[in-house]
Chain A
Amino acid sequence: MHAFAAEVIHALERVPTDACGALVRKHADGAMAGALLVERGRVCWALSARYPRRLTDVLVAEQDTLTHAQLDEVFAMCHRDHMPLGETLVARGLVSLPVLHRALLRHTCEALDCLLREDASAWSWVNHRGHGYHPLLTFSPTEVLAGVHAIISPTLAARALARLRQVVRPDQAGFAIERNRGAKIPLAQLHCEDVDLVTLADLATHADEVMAVAATVGVQVALAQLGGLACASWAEDNVLFVLLCDGELAFNRLLAQMATMTNKA
């Protein structure tokens, strides 16, 4: 998965930041294997010929008060009147924005996971005209890749996310990666939605290198000042955690937090 995901990262990197279109993979016979729809650097939707679930299936799974009949009715109306499905569901009070956001992300990640496994061509970019997705219902590449990773390693990802929820404060961001892997794909993240994948991979590589050296002399936590960002990293089993904090006295605040955390340990 890591090699395939690294290809997606490289493909997304090449997409101009204000572009709107699709990254497409094709089968040898020219048929489309699937696509990743992208607007202004954010992922809107993923399609895979092999992915059987519809968004309505995911919505019903996310919110058990919904029925397929309700959703099919709204879907048919939106299709007929050219209305956006997500916004209409929220406007009619059938789902809340967080539930819709979660369902869309899950559908996109599951479809992308299927697409990554396809025996298909490299990614190619197809430009579209206009922007059609509501920004609140699109996702950063970091969110999507963490979501795909969570499908592949659900137990490890759930544990990492639970740990991040324990330690990441509201003004901080944090992510976890599996160590000893080639590509630095987040296993879980909290408030890192706007950290681009290249920066995140650089931070992960730095943290991994420092912790590998520091661990030889019994160091549990490493804190570094990286530009305007204070960064703390530590390893638990085979998972590396990175905590990010910016603003005034960020380094000192993070140091105090890490000192308390390691005292308790």
Chain B
Amino acid sequence: MNVLAEICATMDHCLAAAWVDTRTRVVLEQRATRDDAFIAPVLEAVTEAMSSRERPPRMVLLSADHVHIAQRLTRDPHRVLVVICARAANLGLVVAVIRSILDAMEPST
């Protein structure tokens, strides 16, 4: 199964998952569990935040209703996985699951 589809299908409270490119600021691929107008501007803002000079490997952005998790792929640092969940999600679990999914995609050292 596609990674984004897997995240949307298996992660409780997941609203959307996407691959974005921080160099071009383009959404490469996107899956959403429902059609929400807020997803596009959120992806844009998260991409912008991940494009900062410090190039953080991961970020979590908390709003009143949502949590936005972004994590960079080590083998392709411009490529970032973004997952948007409802605040009701178990944050620790969501972060750990995303990390393990990306770890599985990285070449073993």
Name A253's closest neighbour in chain B (CB-CB): B92
Q: How far is the CA of A210 from the CA of B68 in the complex (A)?
A: 13
Report yes or no: A259 in contact with B45, Cβ–Cβ below 8 A: no
- Chain B neighbourhood of A115, CB < 8 A: none
Say whether, besides A221-B61, A259-B62, A209 and B45 are in contact (CB < 8 Å): no
- Chain B neighbourhood of A213, CB < 8 A: 45, 48-49
Report yes or no: B56 in contact with A225, Cβ–Cβ below 8 A: yes
Per the 8 Å Cβ criterion, residues 22-51 of B in contact with A are: 38, 41-42, 45, 48-49
Size bracket, chain B contacts:
20 to 34
Size bracket, chain A contacts:
20 to 34
Report yes or no: A256 in contact with B91, Cβ–Cβ below 8 A: yes
Say whether, besides A213-B49, A255-B92, A218 and B59 are in contact (CB < 8 Å): no
Contact with A220, one of B45, B48, B52, B64 (Cβ below 8 angstroms): B64
Report yes or no: B64 in contact with A218, Cβ–Cβ below 8 A: yes
Report yes or no: B58 in contact with A225, Cβ–Cβ below 8 A: yes
Quote the shortest CB–CB distance from A234 to chain B (angstroms): 9
Q: Is the interface of B mostly helix, strand, loop or mixed?
A: mixed
Q: Does B63 contact A (CB under 8 A)?
A: yes
- Chain A neighbourhood of B63, CB < 8 A: 217-220
Report yes or no: A221 in contact with B62, Cβ–Cβ below 8 A: yes
Q: Does B75 contact A (CB under 8 A)?
A: no
Quote the shortest CB–CB distance from B95 to chain A (angstroms): 7
Report yes or no: B58 in contact with A219, Cβ–Cβ below 8 A: no
Q: Does B60 contact A (CB under 8 A)?
A: yes
Which 6 residue pairs are nearest across A and B when measured between Cβ atoms? A224-B56, A219-B61, A218-B63, A223-B60, A221-B62, A217-B45
Spell out A's residues near B (CB within 8 Å). Answer: 202, 205-206, 209-210, 213-214, 216-226, 251-252, 255-256, 258-259, 262
**Could you write out 28 A-B pairs with CB less than 8 Å apart?**
A202-B54, A206-B52, A206-B54, A210-B49, A210-B59, A213-B49, A214-B45, A216-B41, A217-B42, A217-B63, A217-B68, A218-B64, A218-B66, A219-B62, A219-B63, A220-B62, A220-B64, A222-B59, A222-B62, A223-B60, A224-B58, A225-B58, A251-B58, A255-B91, A255-B92, A255-B95, A258-B62, A259-B62
